[in-house]
Amino acid sequence: MQVADSMKAYRVSGIAPFGSVRNKFSLDLPAESKDAAEHMAYSILGSRHKAKRRAISIDSITEIDPRTSTEPRILHTFREQIELAGGTIAPTSEEE
């Protein structure tokens, strides 16, 4: 199965309520557009943590290289592209 040319890897980050506290989150998602990635993030956080969309604050949605992600969903979706490009790349550190 090949990934459609329109599929890209996105990193969605922001702040959401996890129980009684609000914490930062970062999700790597395969999607066709930034809007689709945003919708998936709302859906996943709402499903896992019962967070309402209005309680979730998304700070950024950026397109990433699928080889830099450690998220199994990304590695599975883009496995052929990653293989052709020579394998995974060590993830970039966000705290430097």
pLDDT tens digits for range 39-68: 999 999 999 999 999 999 999 999 999 999
- Domain range for 29 is 8-64
pLDDT at 41: 97
Tell me whether residue 86 is in a domain.
Answer: no
Extended strands (E) in 3-92: 8-18, 21-31, 57-64
Could you tell me if 37 and 61 are in contact, meaning their C-beta atoms sit under 8 angstroms apart?
Answer: yes
Tell me whether residue 35 is in a domain.
Answer: yes
Tell me whether residue 32 is in a domain.
Answer: yes
pTM for this entry: 0.83
pLDDT at 74: 94
| Total structural domains within the chain | 1
pLDDT at 18: 92
pLDDT at 6: 81
Asked if residue 8 has pLDDT above 70, the reply is yes
